[in-house]
């Protein structure tokens, strides 16, 4: 069954298309990496998928729920795009409990799941009562990403999750994402400028340019071929 179904999706600003995708279907359990230069439409696409902005035309369905018509998709979707998703007047611990309340997950269960993220977290995040607004950009990023993953969503949507993270944290996050996909069959959509992580993480890579999908590398593509195709594209434009 398809986890994501995009049909005739278009978002325009001043008659210029930021996103123009006739069709994009993502099967359950796929890990889709979205790549492209600034202005390619990656973030706009993710915002449309989360109904944060209204489409000029077309629709997005998550697990069969049209996001603009039915809120049911929110129960099975985890997401983190930027710090606007955080409540910075809370501590990280309070925020994760808040997320648990929203998804009807007990504090005890959040504490149990939190153990899985111990290596990814630092004492600065959980070991004290710092408010989120007092954390570094990297640690804010970690709190946001963890809050999206800790609910064990059926669909996970992340925008530039490797930004602000040190190399060790980047590799740990990639490991956590792979484990979530393998153990829970979570469908993951992730955009990033880090081509190497996208190639290593994704089962499918979508290349965008000026709002259009110009290349869709399916599950059959190997890492070597994907790297060569992406290097050729980014070196020649």
Query: Each residue of 60-114: pLDDT tens digit?
Result: 999 999 999 999 999 999 999 999 999 999 999 999 999 999 999 999 999 999 9
**Chain centroid offset of residue 21 CA:** 19
- Residues 10, 11, 16, 18: is their CA dihedral positive or negative? negative
| Residue 228 confidence (pLDDT) | 87
Average pLDDT of the segment spanning 132-136: 94
Query: Each residue of 186-232: pLDDT tens digit?
Result: 999 999 999 999 999 999 999 999 999 999 987 556 788 888 889 88
**Whether the predicted pLDDT of 140 surpasses 80:** yes
Q: Exposed, middle or buried, 128 (CB in 10 Å: 0-12/13-18/19+)?
A: exposed
Q: Which tokens go with 53?
A: 């902005």
| Residue 48 confidence (pLDDT) | 98
Whole-structure pTM value: 0.95
| Residue 219 confidence (pLDDT) | 59
Beta carbons of 194 and 25 less than 8 angstroms apart: no
Domains in the chain, CATH or no CATH each:
2-83+153-236 (3.40.50.300)
Least confident range of 135-139, 150-154, 161-165, 214-218: 214-218
CA angle 201, 206, 212 (to 5 degrees): 155
DSSP strand pairing (187-191 vs 155-159): parallel
| Residue 223 confidence (pLDDT) | 80
| Residue 125 confidence (pLDDT) | 85
- Report the mean per-residue pLDDT for the chain: 93
């Amino acid at each position: 069954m398809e986890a994501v179904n995009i049909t005739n999706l278009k978002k325009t600003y001043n008659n210029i298309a930021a996103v123009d995708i006739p069709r994009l279907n993502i099967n359950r359990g796929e890990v889709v990496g979205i790549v492209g230069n600034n202005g390619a439409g990656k973030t706009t696409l993710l915002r449309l998928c989360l109904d944060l902005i209204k489409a000029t035309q077309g629709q997005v369905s998550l697990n069969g729920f049209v996001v603009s018509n039915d809120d049911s998709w929110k129960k099975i979707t985890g997401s983190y795009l930027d710090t606007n998703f955080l409540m910075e007047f809370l501590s990280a611990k309070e925020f994760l409990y808040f997320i648990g309340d929203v998804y009807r997950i007990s504090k005890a269960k959040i504490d149990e799941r939190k153990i899985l993220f111990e290596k990814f977290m630092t004492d600065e995040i959980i070991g004290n009562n710092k408010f989120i607004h007092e954390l570094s950009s990297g640690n804010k990023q970690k709190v946001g990403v963890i809050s999206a993953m800790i609910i064990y969503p059926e669909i996970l949507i992340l925008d530039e999750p490797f930004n602000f993270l040190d190399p060790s944290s980047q590799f740990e996050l990639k490991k956590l994402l792979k484990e979530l996909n393998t153990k829970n069959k979570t469908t993951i959509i992730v955009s990033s400028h880090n081509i190497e992580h996208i190639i290593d993480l994704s089962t499918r890579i979508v290349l965008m340019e000026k709002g259009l999908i110009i290349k869709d590398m399916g599950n059959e593509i190997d890492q070597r071929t994907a790297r060569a195709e992406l290097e050729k594209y980014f070196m020649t434009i």
